[in-house]
Structure formats: structure tokens, C-alpha cells
Amino acid sequence: MSVLAADTPELDLAGHSFVVRGPSPLEGTVEVSGAKNSVLKLMAATLLAEGTYRIANVPRITDVGLMAELLRAIGCKVTLPGQDVGPKQDSGPKQDVGPNQDIGAVLIIEVPAEIEPVAPRGIVDQFRASIEVLGPMLARCGEAVVALPGGDDFGPRPIDMHLQGLAKLGVEAGTVDGYVHARARELRGGAIRLDFPSVGATENLLMAAVRAKGTTVIDNAAREPEVADLCEFLSKMGAQVSGSGSGTLTINGVDHVEALQPVDHSVVGDRIVAATYLAALGIATGEIVVTGVDLDHMAVLCGKLGNMGMEISAEGESIRARVSNRLSSAKFSTLPYPGVATDLKPLLVALLATADGVGSVTENLFAERFRYVDDLRLMGADIRIDSHHVVVEGKERLMAAKVKAPDIRAGAALVIAGLGAQGETTVSDAHHIARGYDDLAGKLNSLGADVSRS
């Protein structure tokens, strides 16, 4: 159990299930918290410089607790959202952290003058994003020892691109007994071209390059909004980063560590969670408003949903969506941003299971991300796997069943499938869902669903 789960009982879902009673049309407004795929990298980036950081719009998820444990092991003091931080100290004028400034969602990280550049296996093997401390520890200390990461099991996701890129910056690295041992006498800028626009590799290289001597250019860099959020965070700290949001990032390394300063920042909204609520609406029908997310970050997906029959419009930092009738089916392909994210695949398969006609989802990133299909079949879904394609013939109504969440997104997909099923669906291993969703059950219930914990 992570520290955050211990301090927040609703996150302690080990051994628990979600019970979904359907069918349940949805209506109302739901707020999306900060992105899991951003906040964990921002937390890692604080290792670059001593001082106190305040990160707002932090999702209450167990992976944040795991990253907090890791930072504590490295030597930091971390105060999780909602914890008592004691009397407020006058530390001078604070920066605007953006529109989401709910004090209950603020994370405080105090980074000491000296850190221990070791990420131990006991923590690291629980979540994938732990590898992101490698780059900042190398930048800060010139060395790092990081256990190979764990997290959701979708098949092999090697860190070769991380290590190959770091080698271009002068890093010597190897793996021994499940640990990456990396060292650099001096980080130096270099030209790096990624074979694939890997988000994790882009972020690790970006953070290392901030302290490299000279200029680093990363070509075929990931363009995700979460990468852009990290670029903004680093720029606030004093890093010289250009090209944010494009496929080419240019980083001019700062001359000394004092050039980097702690900052306040608000995490970008979670487009994957927002898409989860839209998929839920597509299954359940109704009308909802999703706040705290930029429609531009979801343009391709929302265009496809619109073609299926969902009425979607932007209202500032909100998305209004309406589904009156059963959606038409469609074909999706997972691609790097701005394409449809691979995280969405289980959710889209669940959506297609109730759509009218035959649709498909083609997985172009993680070949083995199909482990939820048998559970959807238990609910009556008509699904066929053909290589890296999932072909789905939609049914007007699914059946309630007892199913098991294999990972974060697949677990959420089974929950929203239950909204379109007749009867009581039980989704066991709910702790997986809490790793990436801030109170999924409670927020669905606020929209009129009937989801309880058992």
C-alpha cells in the first residue's frame, strides 16, 4: 500500500471490488484532476534543484503516493495533498499556479542540498514512471542507480531508447542484477534522434539535458501535452528549452545548478480521464460537462466520437457532450500524439461493444494490450482479435458479470462497460484503477451512475 493510500482510505482498494449497477444514463458535470502522466514526471524533475516546490491540481491516485515514497528514499520531504503542513511560512511572493488552486490538491516537495541518487527496487518495481528519476539524478549528481521499473504489464517496454540517448550526452550505463547503473564525468550536449517518439525517453533526456554542457537537440521527440507541461515546468525553473509541443526539442544547458530554482506549478488536465468519461457517456447515453481539460488535447478522439454520433462542443476549459441514441461504430488506430493514445484502447473497445455495427481498434504501440478482452466477452461482448487488431461487433446491451481489472485503463473500461449492462457487474482488483483515477466511482455516481465499493 502506498503512503497516499494509507492516508486516504478511499484509495486503499487492495482486495476490494467495484460493483456497478446498470444501465445508468449519465447527467451532470464532472471535474478532471491533473494528469497522472504529467504529475509523476514533474515530481521527478524537482530533483534537479534544491528548494521547495508546490504542485497544484494533483490527482489523488496511488501512483502519486508511490512517487512520493521514492522521492523520500532519495532524501526529499514530501507533503501529500490534504496533509497538514503546519503553520504557513513566509517564503516570499509565490507564482500563480493556474486556475486549479484547491489546497486539498497541492503537493509540496522539499528537495535538500544533497540527495542520494539511488532508486531502490522495493518502490521502483511497483510503477513504470519511476525510471523518470534517472535523468534528473544524473543531471544533479553525475551518477544514478535505478532499479528497472514495474507498473502495468502490457508486454515488453524496454528502456533502450533512454540509455541510447543518454549515451549521446556522455553517460555510461549498464544493467546489473535488475538495476541500471549510470555515470557521467560531465554531461555534454548532443544530437539525439529517437527511433520512436517515446514519451518516457523524451522526458528523461530532456531533464538530463537541462544540466548538460552546450546544446542538445532531440529529434522525433514526443509531442504529448504532458511533455509540453514538463517543458513549461523546466522553463519556469530557469531551463532553456524551446520547441515545446513539436517533434524537435532544443535545450541549452545551464552553466551551474544555482541557475535552476524551485517553482509553483499547476498540472495540466488529464485527457485520458476526460476521455474515460466521454466513453462512459457513449455507453450509457445522457449529457455531461467535463471540466478542467483542453479540447484541443483531444481533438482527434473527439472528432471520431462526433462521427459516431456524440454531440461535442468546447466551453472554455470544459467539454460538453451529449448522446441521445446508440452510437454508430467506428475504426480507431492508436498512434503517438496527436493521434489516439494507446491508453484509450480498452476504453474504446468497451465503447464499441455497445455501438451499432462492426468497429475495430488497431494497436500500434503495445502488442500485448488485450488482457481485458476475455472479461468483456463474459459480459456478452462480441470481440475478435486478429494480430494487433481488435474487431468488435456491437450489441445493444451487455450482460452483468464478475470480471477482473488487469491494469488501470482496462479496469476503468470494465467499470464503464458495466454502465451499459443489465444487472450488477463486479470488477475485482479495484486497486489497479486507483493507480490512475481520482475517485472514479464517486465521480461517476455524481453523474447518476450506481457504483459502490465492496
Q: Is residue 152 among the annotated active site residues?
A: yes
Pairing verdict, β 172-176 and 179-183: antiparallel
> How many whole angstroms separate alpha carbon 319 and alpha carbon 316?
8
Query: CA of 426: how far to CAs of 213, 415, 436, in Å?
Result: 55, 8, 19
Q: Is-contact 417 350, C-beta < 8 A?
A: yes
> Which single residue is written with the C-alpha cell 560531465?
186
Host H or E run for residue 434:
helix 431-434
Separation CA 412–CA 36 (nearest Å):
14
Q: What is 43-88 written as a DSSP string?
A: HHHGGGSSEEEEEES----HHHHHHHHHHHHHT-EEE-TTS---SP
Residue 337's CB is within 10 A of a number of other CB atoms, namely 19
Catalytic: which of 12, 90, 125, 152? 152
Would you give the DSSP letter of residue 300? H
DSSP states along 99-119: S---GGG-EEEEE-SS---EE
Nine-digit cell string for 268: 495540466
* Rounded alpha-carbon distances, angstroms, from residue 70 to 147, 378, 383: 11, 38, 40
- Cα separation, 49 vs 112, in Å, equals 8
Q: Quick one: CA dihedral 4, 5, 6, 8, positive or negative?
A: positive
Kindly state the helix (H) or strand (E) to which residue 318 belongs, with its residue range.
Answer: strand 318-323
Residues in Cβ contact with 339 at an 8 Å cutoff, skipping those fewer than 6 apart: 300, 333
Sheet (strand 77-79) strand order: 77-79, 107-111, 51-56, 264-266
CA angle 311, 313, 318 (to 5 degrees): 125
Measuring CA to CA, which residue among 138, 130, 123 is closest to residue 48?
A: 138
d(CA 231, CA 441): 33
Write out the catalytic residue numbers: 152
